A and B are shown apart, each in its own frame.
Chain A
Amino acid sequence: MTDAASTTARMQDPSRRARLAEFWYYFSENRGAVIGLWVFIVLVVLALAAPLIAPHAPNAQYRDAILVPPFWETGGRAAYPLGTDAVGRDILSRLLFGARYSLFIGVVVTLLALTTGIVIGTIAGYFRGWVDTAITRLMDIILAFPSLLLALVLVAVLGPGLTNAMIAIALVQQPHYVRLTRAAVMTEKNRDYVTAARVAGAGNLRLMFRTILPNCTAPLIVQAALSFSTAILDAAALGFLGMGAQPPTPEWGTMLAEAREFILRAWWVVTFPGLAILITVLAINLMGDGLRDALDPKLKRS
């Protein structure tokens, strides 16, 4: 036990630190990725601090302040920096609370799709045979539908709402993880170190998840960044179509749906929620590009 632990520690410590340093070196080479990382950190801080910094409660309605423009426009008030919506709610406060929803959606969907996808993909790539065929076919079937349409119908089946929207989005994203994991596991499986571990008496579970899987992480991390941003976009799209988070939740897509009828009268109710989605997704995609450059050895040389 102690022997094994010390062995792992000895194996991991210097190399892991070196690898992290190397990773950071390549990641920070990409200026966009660093900017994306900073923006993302700011967004996380704002989301966490929302109850402390938001000037108003997200659902508080001020009857005397309906469709007030942002403070720099004529008629704007300092109390509502980004204006108010059609029922007099402060848009800035709703955006700050909305950041919590979007980031939460991204984390939950990614974790859900990642874990189920990895387990299923590892099983398919490790065991091959009919299990693999069945899994691959099922994933082909899911991928045959346009993802947003499938998510839309799934939410209609499960009932509109944020939880069901997250489940539906995770389900349509999970085939990508299955495919990536399966391909990676298949190439790793016949390497010498796996054979060595097997000869040393490691069981299937240990071989799959302790020996092989840690060597397949690079493409999965990149995919996770990608699906984090897609999850936020898709959840907002479902909210916009009326199938995601339900009013009065301050989710950004739902806010856009509520604002639609006022677009020609009050530009701010439409502009800011969408801008928030765009900034968040852009920051994550910038980081994703940086991750890919830093983790993909083929691109490192150039």
Chain B
Amino acid sequence: MLIRSKLPKCRTTEVAEIFKHNLTSMERKTKIHAEDGKQDLKITREFDLPLELLFKAYEEPNLVEQWMGTKVLKLENKKHGSYQFETTDPMGNKHGFNGAIHEFVPNQKITRTFEMENTRYPIQLEFLEFEKLTNDTSKLTIHIVYRSVVDRDQMLKLPFAQGINWAHNRLQDIVNNLK
């Protein structure tokens, strides 16, 4: 077809350029630092909250439940302690998460493992560091170490993949409703 032959080849790099431009101009409070070919990543976030309040959000089970949108079955904030969470997804399926707590220093740090139950994802190691910036602001740095580079990249892509899955489910719902 004539029109087709006249069209320039579409290159994904061109698309990527457009996005890159837009990314830099966006305000981003939460930052993800993930270097290519490494098995770890860092999540940083500055909060408009005093350090003590930020830490409390991680310490108190009822607060954790509120902001994480999960049920807290167990939360022992101490060395050799452990935690157990349970989340219900939009389809009503329950997902369990748990881990062991290795370090718990109030207003400073939490070191723990994280396991997604009944999945093929390996257990990960998390270093959470809490810092005071000013009297009213604080910073959280989460350093996550995965079993391998592939495992890290898979976890990074998970929310993206889920977005597509939900889209499929939503389309399925619409189709089912038409029947």
**A is bound by B:** no
Chain A: residues with CB nearer than 8 A to chain B?
Answer: none
Chain B: residues with CB nearer than 8 A to chain A?
Answer: none
